[in-house]
Amino acid sequence: MKTNTTATKTKRTAKRTPLYVLLIFIAVQLSPILVVVPTFNYFRNQGLDKKAAEIATSGWLVVISMALGLIVTLIVIARDRKFFDIWKGKNAGLPKAIGWGLLGFLMLLVGQSLAAYIEIAMGIEPGSENTQNIVILTETVPLTIMAVVLFAPILEELVFRRVIFGSLNQTTNFFVAAGISALVFAAVHMEFTHLLVYFTSGTILAFLYQKTKSIITPIIAHIMLNGYVMLIQLNLEKIQDFLKQMENLQ
């Protein structure tokens, strides 16, 4: 009797965990609204002007909400040992998962470049407003880099690839599941003019997850992509100066 009760509780936990993870992610996106005003007032009282206080508020709320959201998510997942057991067959070993993660980073670069070229051909101006805003935040709150490069990729892969794509893939097929998860991934970033770029990235990350059956793979690829973008953006002026020097030498 006790064994049956334990098994029932385990099944209930397994069914609820994806929902809990999704709700935590939604809370991460919405909860900063509750403390925007007091946080802004705090920085104003510290002597910052209005613009600086707004940037500091945004930066710190991104860092804190992402960090807390990731911690709570990992705690919830740790209670469900079968959370990642959704695939038939054996998962890729760690070396293979890492290898595909590195390859996946290159796939993302190529995929995003092709998507960007298509957008330009359609008359859409290049450049991401979301990325530019993040760069501004990092100048005031350097820890924002940690949130963007580490916290966000892990949390987003757990939500978009494991919960949304992984769950849909059990009842539909790869194309439907990848398409829906990629569209939601694009919508959450609130840059609908660059929908194709985000959709391409989401589809590639879904492919990596299904290929290796290991969430580690898309997480590695996603972390490397965000790290690469931040590295370029934070050193853009230096890169432009270097290219000008090279042109002058030629």
Name the residues annotated as catalytic. Answer: 156, 189
The DSSP-derived string for 14-28 is: HHHHHHHHHHHHHHH
Burial class (CB in 10 A: 0-12, 13-18, 19+), 6: exposed
CA distances from 184 to 126, 164, 199 (A): 21, 9, 9
- Kindly state whether residue 7 falls inside one of the protein's structural domains: yes
Instruction: Please give the tally of structural domains in the chain.
Output: 1
Is residue 242 assigned to a domain?
A: no
Q: Over the stretch 22-56, which tens digit does the pLDDT of each residue have?
A: 999 999 999 999 999 999 999 999 999 999 999 99
Flag whether 220 is in a domain.
Answer: yes
pLDDT of residue 239: 76
Please check whether residue 249 lies inside any domain of the structure. Answer: no
What pTM, to 2 d.p., does this model score? 0.89
Range of the domain at 101: 2-82+92-236
* Domain assignment of residue 102, yes or no: yes
Q: Is residue 243 part of a domain?
A: no
Per this entry, what is the length of the chain? 250
Instruction: Name the band, by pLDDT with cuts 50, 70 and 90, for residue 14.
Output: low
The answer to whether residue 229 sits within a structural domain is yes
70 contacts 154 by C-beta, under 8 angstroms: yes
Give per-residue pLDDT as tens, 65-108.
Answer: 999 999 999 999 999 988 999 888 888 889 999 999 999 999 99
Residue 250 within any structural domain of the chain = no
How far apart CA 160 and CA 152 sit, in angstroms, is 11
